[in-house]
């Protein structure tokens, strides 16, 4: 897939995707504080308000030999890889690690980290805190969530030795809202290929905000031309790598929307700037933080700006041990088929023969080679 984007911008995207922690390490070596986090429900504005670098950890590569001795094999691969790195000491440079309770795997991850610190002598582990942010759309959860955010604020202040003022939070809310709007505008105006969408979404979760905005500006000011195939929306389990995106592209399909927690949907919703900063963060991450605990999920066929894009199909991908998101599939399949949108069910691992066959079958179906609307 070719484009006319300037090579320097693409090189920065590729470099950050291949080595997402390089910028944070440089920030740390220069005397800054780095706060790592998992998932898409941690208010990174709070971290930035302390002058720290927010770094979302990835488990896209690496072994699990240390983790396999202590962690159940049913846990997600990315969690096993991150846990392995914690045990090895390669993440000891983090000043704090925030783990949200946005899936059963993440909760058990937190408990296991605390267990090995207490009972296995792993004192090199960074301090880890749990953020139990409920995601139910009810008023009675608001007070509970605000209390948890104030606890998180105190933990960040202690780890960074910096007081987080209300004005600092409000300033970061405005900065991150501006970046989200810039990302949405770039996606709408340029419609980049799926793999690049994912890499850009990842860039904004791991690199300094100013670098993210500068990159988007450079890309937007350079003529772009992306080849696109049949348009597919992707739902289900998270994707830290472009493996599935590449598999779709190889079969003449392009992912143009996604609702998983590493995709462009991260930037779909802003934080209210006119409300109390903590209350505004609570509302945004309770209602719009992407996770398996999210009570109300956006339709997967919506683009990053919330518009119906009318994809040719919606593909539902679930990791091998991921059962939670699969509960939604039967109802979603019926809803989409009623709307005349083809659906497909894919099971991981991505490189498994069954998954590859399902991608090929969907491509054949969209090309008119099979009958029916359901490929699951």
Q: DSSP of 190-251, one letter per residue?
A: H---HHHHHHHHHHHHHS-HHHHHHHHHHHHTS-------EEEEEEES--SSSHHHHHHHHT
The structure tokens listed for 204 are 């904004």
The structure tokens listed for 26 are 């440089």
User: What pLDDT shows up at residue 261?
Assistant: 94
Burial 78-111 (b: 16+ CB within 10 A, else e): bbbbbbbbbbbeebeebbbbbbbbbbebbbebbe
Per DSSP, the chain holds a count of helices (H) and strands (E) of: 13, 8
User: What pLDDT shows up at residue 7?
Assistant: 60
CA distances from 229 to 187, 224, 301 (A): 17, 16, 16
CA distance linking residue 160 with residue 42, whole number of Å: 17
Output phi, psi for 324, to 5 deg: -60, -55
| Helix (H) or strand (E) segment spanning residue 96 | strand 96-100
The structure tokens listed for 246 are 């590449």
User: What pLDDT shows up at residue 371?
Assistant: 44
Residues 6+ apart with CB under 8 A from 297: 259, 290, 328
- State the helix-helix crossing angle for 277-288 and 142-160, rounded to 10 degrees: 110
Q: Is the pTM of the predicted complex or chain greater than 0.85?
A: yes
Among the listed residues 177, 139, 155, the one whose alpha carbon sits nearest the alpha carbon of residue 279: 139
CA distance linking residue 149 with residue 277, whole number of Å: 11
User: What pLDDT shows up at residue 3?
Assistant: 41
Output phi, psi for 131, to 5 deg: -110, 105
User: What pLDDT shows up at residue 329?
Assistant: 84
User: What pLDDT shows up at residue 226?
Assistant: 66
User: What pLDDT shows up at residue 348?
Assistant: 84
- Identify the DSSP state of 264: G
Beta partners for 79? Answer: none
User: What pLDDT shows up at residue 358?
Assistant: 96
Class of the 7-166 domain? alpha beta
For residue 141, count CB atoms less than 10 angstroms from its CB and return exposed for 0-12, middle for 13-18, buried for 19 or more. Answer: middle
Reading the chain (376 residues) residue by residue, the pLDDT tens digits are 334 445 689 899 999 999 999 999 999 999 999 999 999 999 999 999 999 999 999 998 889 999 999 998 888 899 999 999 999 999 999 999 999 999 889 999 999 999 998 888 888 899 999 999 999 988 899 999 999 999 999 999 999 999 999 999 999 999 999 999 999 999 999 889 999 999 999 999 999 999 999 999 999 887 655 656 899 999 999 999 999 999 999 999 999 999 999 999 999 999 999 999 999 999 999 999 998 778 777 888 888 988 888 899 999 999 877 766 677 788 899 999 999 999 999 998 898 999 999 999 999 999 985 544 455 5
Among the listed residues 210, 279, 220, the one whose alpha carbon sits nearest the alpha carbon of residue 43: 279
Quick check: 12 and 215 in contact, CB under 8 A? yes
Quick check: 229 and 252 in contact, CB under 8 A? yes
CA distance linking residue 364 with residue 31, whole number of Å: 54
């Amino acid at each position: 897939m070719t484009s006319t984007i300037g090579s320097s911008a693409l090189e920065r995207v590729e470099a950050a995707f291949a080595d997402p922690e390089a910028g944070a390490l440089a920030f740390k070596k220069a005397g800054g504080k780095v706060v790592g986090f998992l998932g898409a429900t941690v208010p990174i504005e709070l971290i930035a308000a302390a002058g720290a670098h927010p770094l979302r950890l990835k488990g896209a590569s690496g072994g699990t030999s240390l983790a396999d001795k202590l962690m159940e094999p049913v846990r997600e691969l990315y969690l096993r890889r991150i846990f392995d790195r914690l045990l090895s000491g390669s993440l000891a440079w983090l000043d704090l690690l925030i783990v949200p309770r946005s899936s059963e795997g993440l909760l058990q991850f937190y408990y296991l980290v605390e267990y090995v610190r207490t009972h296995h002598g792993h004192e090199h582990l960074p301090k880890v805190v749990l953020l139990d942010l409920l995601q139910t759309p009810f008023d009675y959860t608001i007070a509970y969530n605000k209390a948890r955010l104030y606890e998180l604020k105190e933990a960040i202040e202690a780890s960074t030795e910096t007081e987080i003022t209300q004005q600092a939070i409000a300033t970061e809310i405005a900065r991150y809202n501006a970046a989200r709007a810039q990302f949405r505008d770039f996606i709408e105006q340029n419609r980049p290929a799926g793999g690049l969408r994912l890499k850009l979404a990842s860039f904004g979760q791991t690199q300094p905000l100013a670098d993210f905005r500068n990159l988007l500006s450079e890309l937007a000011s350079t003529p772009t031309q992306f080849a696109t195939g049949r348009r597919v929306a992707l739902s289900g389990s998270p994707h830290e790598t472009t493996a599935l995106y590449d598999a779709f592209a190889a079969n003449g399909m392009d992912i143009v929307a996604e609702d998983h927690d590493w995709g462009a949907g991260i930037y779909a919703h802003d934080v209210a700037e006119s409300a109390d900063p903590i209350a505004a963060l609570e509302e945004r991450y309770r209602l719009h933080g992407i996770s398996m605990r999210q009570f109300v999920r956006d339709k997967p066929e919506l683009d990053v700006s919330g518009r119906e894009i009318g994809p040719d199909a919606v593909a539902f991908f679930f990791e091998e041990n991921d059962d939670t998101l699969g509960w939604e599939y039967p109802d979603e399949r019926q809803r989409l088929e009623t709307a005349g949108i083809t659906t497909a069910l894919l099971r991981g691992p991505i490189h498994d023969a069954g998954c590859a066959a399902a991608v090929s079958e969907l491509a054949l179906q969209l090309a008119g080679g099979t009958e029916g609307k359901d490929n699951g």
